Amino acid sequence: MSPQLLPRRSLRFLEAVATPHGVDSYLEQIDPLLVAGECRAEVVGVERGTEESATLTMRPNRAWRGFRAGQFVEVAVEIDGVRHQRCYSPACVEGRATTIEITVKRHPEGLVSNFLVDRAEPGMVVGLSAGQGDFQLPEQRPESVFLIGGGSGITPLMAILRTLFAEAYERPVAFLYYAPDAERCIYREELERLAATHPSFRLLRSYTRAPGTGELDGHFSPTHLPESDPCFADAETFACGPPALLDAVRGTWANGLEHRLHVESFVPPSFVPVGAAGEGAIRFAGPEVEVANSGASLLEQAEAAGLSPAYGCRMGICHTCTCRKRAGTHKNLITGEVSSAPDEEIQLCVSAALGDLIVEL
Amino acid sequence: MTTAAPTAPPPSPTAVEGLTTNPYGLTPEQFEQLGEEMDAIRQRVLADRGQRDADYIRGIIRAQRGLEVAGRGLLWAGVVPPFWLAGTAALSLSKILDNMEIGHNVMHGQYEWMNDPKLSGKQFEWDTACPADQWRHSHNYMHHTHTNIVGKDRDIGYGVLRMSEEQEWKPYYLGNPLWAALLATFFEYGVALHDLEVERIAEGEISLMDKRELLKGIGTKVRAQALKDYVFFPALSGPLFAFPLAGNATANIVRNLWSFTIIFCGHFPEGTHEFDEAETENETRGQWYHRQALGSANLSGGRLFHILSGNLSFQIEHHLFPDLPANRYAEISVEVQEICERYGLPYNVGPLHRQFGSVVKKICRLALPDSPRTVARRGLGGLAGGAGKLLSLGKRSVLALK
Of A215, A246, A332, A342, nearest to A285 by C-alpha is A342
Q: Residue A307: its pLDDT value, please?
A: 95
Closest Cα in chain B, distance from residue A23 (Å): 11
Closest Cα in chain A, distance from residue B340 (Å): 21
Of B63, B100, B37, B61, nearest to B326 by C-alpha is B100
Q: Residue B387: its pLDDT value, please?
A: 42
Q: Residue B382: its pLDDT value, please?
A: 45
Domain A40-128 sits in CATH at 2.40.30.10
Q: Residue B378: its pLDDT value, please?
A: 60
Residue B110 sits at φ, ψ, to 5 deg, of -65, -20
Q: Give the mean pLDDT of chain B.
A: 88
Report, in this order, helix, strand and coil percent for chain B, each rounded to 5. 65, 0, 30
- Counted across chains A and B, CB pairs separated by less than 8 A come out at 105
Taking CA–CA distances from A12, the nearest residue in chain B reads B232
State how beta strands A73-79 and A125-128 pair: antiparallel
* DSSP codes joined into one string, B164-205: STTSPP-GGGGGHHHHHHHHHHTHHHHHHTGGG-HHHHHTTS
Complex-level ipTM: 0.86
Taking CA–CA distances from B324, the nearest residue in chain A reads A317
Domain A281-360 sits in CATH at 3.10.20.30
The tens digit of pLDDT for each residue in B296-351 reads 999 999 999 999 999 999 999 999 999 999 999 999 999 999 999 999 999 999 99
Q: Residue A269: its pLDDT value, please?
A: 44
User: Integer distance in angstroms from the first to the last C-alpha of chain B?
Assistant: 22
Extents of the domains making up chain A: 1-37, 40-128, 145-269, 281-360
Q: Residue B372: its pLDDT value, please?
A: 78
A230 prior amide bond cis, ω within 30: yes
> Could you tell me how many residues make up chain B?
402
Identify the residue among B141, B221, B228, B323 best suited for mutation to test binding to A, counting A beta carbons within 10 A and taking the highest.
B141
The tens digit of pLDDT for each residue in A235-292 reads 999 999 988 999 999 999 988 889 999 999 865 544 556 777 788 999 999 999 999 9
**Are the C-beta atoms of residues B116 and B328 closer than 8 Å to each other?**
no
Closest Cα in chain B, distance from residue A123 (Å): 19
Cβ of residue B73 closer than 8 Å to a chain A Cβ = no
The tens digit of pLDDT for each residue in B80-134 reads 999 999 999 999 999 999 999 999 999 999 999 999 999 999 899 999 999 999 9
Taking CA–CA distances from A344, the nearest residue in chain B reads B115
Q: Residue B200: its pLDDT value, please?
A: 86
* Nearest CB to B140 within list A25, A312, A337: A312
Does the domain made of A145-269 have the CATH classification 3.30.930.10?
no
Q: Residue B93: its pLDDT value, please?
A: 98
Please state, in angstroms and rounded to a whole number, the distance separating the CA atoms of residues B67 and A198.
61
A318 and B227 in contact by Cβ < 8 A?
no
Q: Residue B180: its pLDDT value, please?
A: 97
Q: Residue A158: its pLDDT value, please?
A: 95
Identify the residue among A317, A331, A347 best suited for mutation to test binding to B, counting B beta carbons within 10 A and taking the highest.
A317
**Are the C-beta atoms of residues B239 and B288 closer than 8 Å to each other?**
no
Q: Could you give the 3-state DSSP secondary structure of residue B100?
A: helix
The tens digit of pLDDT for each residue in B39-52 reads 999 999 999 999 99
* Chain A neighbors of B289, CB-CB under 8 A: none
Poorest-pLDDT segment among B67-71, B157-161, B247-251: B157-161
* Nearest CB to B46 within list A19, A313, A335: A335
A82 and B115 in contact by Cβ < 8 A?
yes
Out of A238-252, B355-369, B376-390, the most confident range is: B355-369
Task: Identify each DSSP E strand in A122-184 by its residue range.
Answer: 125-128, 145-150, 173-179
A320 and B141 in contact by Cβ < 8 A?
yes
Of A322, A320, A357, A361, nearest to A342 by C-alpha is A357
Q: Residue B364: its pLDDT value, please?
A: 97
Please state, in angstroms and rounded to a whole number, the distance separating the CA atoms of residues A202 and A232.
12
Q: Residue B7: its pLDDT value, please?
A: 41
**Are the C-beta atoms of residues B382 and B276 closer than 8 Å to each other?**
no
Q: Is the dihedral of CA A84, B323, B308, B176 positive or negative?
A: negative
pLDDT higher than 60, residue B190: yes
Please state, in angstroms and rounded to a whole number, the distance separating the CA atoms of residues B287 and A19.
42
Identify the residue among A14, A15, A19 best suited for mutation to test binding to B, counting B beta carbons within 10 A and taking the highest.
A19
Cβ of residue B62 closer than 8 Å to a chain A Cβ = yes
A26 and B69 in contact by Cβ < 8 A?
yes
* Chain B neighbors of A343, CB-CB under 8 A: 115
A322 and B62 in contact by Cβ < 8 A?
no
Closest Cα in chain A, distance from residue B142 (Å): 8
B127 and A21 in contact by Cβ < 8 A?
yes
Taking CA–CA distances from B221, the nearest residue in chain A reads A20
Cβ of residue B228 closer than 8 Å to a chain A Cβ = yes
Poorest-pLDDT segment among A154-163, A226-235, A246-255: A226-235
Please state, in angstroms and rounded to a whole number, the distance separating the CA atoms of residues B361 and A15.
44
Extents of the domains making up chain B: 51-129+216-257
Please state, in angstroms and rounded to a whole number, the distance separating the CA atoms of residues A169 and B181.
77
* Chain B neighbors of A345, CB-CB under 8 A: 109, 112, 115, 120, 122
Q: Is the dihedral of CA A229, A232, A237, A243 positive or negative?
A: positive
**Are the C-beta atoms of residues A305 and A293 closer than 8 Å to each other?**
no
